[in-house]
Amino acid sequence: MHAGPPTSLQDVEQFADRLAEAVARTRSQLCVGIDPVPESIPDGVGLEEFCRGIVDAVAGVAVAVKPQAAFFEALGADGWHTFLETCAYAREAGLLVIADVKRGDIGSTAAAYAQAFLPLADAVTVNPYLGGDSVQPFLERAREHGSGIFCLVKTSNPGSGDVQDVELAGGGTVWQRVARLVDSWDAHAVVGATYPREVAEARELMPRAVLLLPGIGAQGGQPSDLAPAFAAGPASALPSASRSVIYASSGPDWRDAAHAEAERLRAEIWEMAQVG
């Protein structure tokens, strides 16, 4: 299973440094979400073929991909196999892989999850509702592997305010409280690109964190609104688009269309990051 920690953690290059190198190499801060919905995949294209095709189309244009576990799990055991396959294939193609699993569980279970997912990917997403002892096992394993942990802080969906925007007695909101915890844990954060004001606030609350910013494109987020996220350095934010890239065309040109849309976004984000 797991070979144990290396003799010195200082020998392990940590996620933020690996990301910075990859950004410099690819001149890209774009992350592409891989959310394979059977109804949206071009006719006659299999799940695995689609996922590999998207990886091929965006390699060298995106710096990272974010396969979303739920869509694969919904397709049963074969789907799960393809999830693992896609993670491996993307890493071979030189992309960083953020496994979007959104797990969160109590201590011993969190350790089991960390053991399951961290060797597969460069980073994973976790849900912080259960508190620090649910995130700690992920952080410990992550340091050993040089992996990144992205905690959900302010999510991109319309209903995210139900819990996250509730106002606290001491001032601020639930998500701002979570942002402070994430900063104290030295973790990274997910903040919806659909909430630009919160993205700017998140940057201030978590000055050291890489911000993963999903919701570009189909969900309505605009790269041009995200400049403040890059204030901590050019490799400090990863805007992420899913449907607008991977389903850019449902015709036989789906690979080329995905490549073209990814390149369009890459250039737009790159230009903004130099200013930010």
| Token pair recorded at residue 255 | 């690979």
Contact between residue 176 and residue 205 where contact means Cβ atoms under 8 Å apart: yes
Query: Distance between CA atoms of 231 and 5, rounded to whole angstroms?
Result: 33
C-beta closer to a copy of itself: residue 165 or 268:
165
Choose, from 91, 102, 180, 264, the residue flagged as catalytic: 102
Q: Which of these, 163, 151, 165, 240, lies nearest to 198 by C-alpha position?
A: 165
Contact between 186 and a copy of itself by CB under 8 A: the answer reads: no
- Work out how close the CB of 220 gets to a copy of itself at its nearest, in angstroms, rounded to a whole number: 13
- Work out how close the CB of 82 gets to a copy of itself at its nearest, in angstroms, rounded to a whole number: 11
DSSP letter for each residue of 90-143: HHHTT-EEEEEEEE---HHHHHHHHHHHGGG-SEEEE-GGG-HHHHHHHHHHHH
Phi, psi torsion values for 42, nearest 5 degrees: -55, 145
C-beta closer to a copy of itself: residue 26 or 125:
125
Active site residue 102: yes
- Work out how close the CB of 187 gets to a copy of itself at its nearest, in angstroms, rounded to a whole number: 13
C-beta closer to a copy of itself: residue 129 or 207:
129
Contact pick of 60, 128, 221, 228 for a copy of itself (by CB under 8 A) = 128
Contact between 174 and a copy of itself by CB under 8 A: the answer reads: yes
Match 């925007």 to its residue by tokens: 165
Contact between residue 214 and residue 259 where contact means Cβ atoms under 8 Å apart: no
C-beta closer to a copy of itself: residue 59 or 199:
199
Contact pick of 18, 23, 35, 99 for a copy of itself (by CB under 8 A) = 35
Which range of residues in 10-18, 21-29, 98-106, 258-266 is near a copy of itself by CB under 8 A?
Answer: 98-106
Contact between residue 32 and residue 166 where contact means Cβ atoms under 8 Å apart: no
Q: Which of these, 217, 211, 227, 210, lies nearest to 269 by C-alpha position?
A: 227
C-beta closer to a copy of itself: residue 28 or 156:
156
Question: Which residue ranges make up the site for a copy of itself (CB under 8 A)?
Answer: 35, 37, 68, 70-71, 73-77, 80-81, 84, 102-110, 112-113, 115-116, 127-134, 136, 152, 155-164, 166-170, 174, 177-178, 181
